Amino acid sequence: MQPTRKSWTTTITLTTKITQENEQEEFSFEESAQVTLINNTLYVRYTEHQQNFETPVTFKISQVDDILLHRHNDFTDVQLHFMPNKIFQTQYVTSQGNIPIAVRTDALLNEITTDHPYGTLNITYSLLNNDSVIGTYTLNLLISKN
């Protein structure tokens, strides 16, 4: 049996706040995105254009509280797994080598479901290296309703 598949184009707005060593940066941008629903999993794919770099990005929303974020370009590759009260080990792959990190989801509010694949996703998370926090991040993804 073939999986049920629906796909459409929309606009996303992503805002990220980064706090490292008491310094804060904020990035915000709007991009055209492809949203695909395969069975009960929602994929949001877009290309981030920032500082003359293009970075393909995929959010995989398989449940309200189980989110994967994959970002990759010619220089870096990272997959972050977000689930409340869980810590996931991963590798931040760079052209200089691999950096082991852990992702701790501090807060997650997902209003994007397969029933209505638009709305907001808010995630606050910390990246850790050897149990030390190397940064705290707040991600806000808005998927526009067409």
CA distances from 67 to 3, 22, 80, 96, 132 (A): 20, 27, 8, 28, 23
Amino acid 2: pLDDT = 65
The whole-angstrom separation of Cα 143 and Cα 31 is 10
Is-contact 110 67, C-beta < 8 A?
yes
Nearest to 60 by CA among 76, 80, 32, 86: 80
Task: Note the pLDDT tens digit of each residue in 51-93.
Answer: 788 999 999 998 778 999 999 988 889 999 999 989 999 999 9
Sign (positive/negative) of CA torsion 79, 138, 143, 121? positive
Can you list the domains of the chain with their CATH numbers? 5-143 (2.40.128.20)
What is the per-residue DSSP string for 26-75?
Answer: EEEEEEEEEEEEETTEEEEEEEEEETTEEEEEEEEEEETTEEEEEEE-SS
| Residues 25-45: b if buried by 16+ CB within 10 A, e if exposed | eeeeeeeebebebeeeebbbb
pLDDT band at 3 (very low <50, low <70, confident <90, very high): low
Task: Note the pLDDT tens digit of each residue in 10-56.
Answer: 999 999 999 999 899 999 999 999 999 988 899 999 999 887 889 99
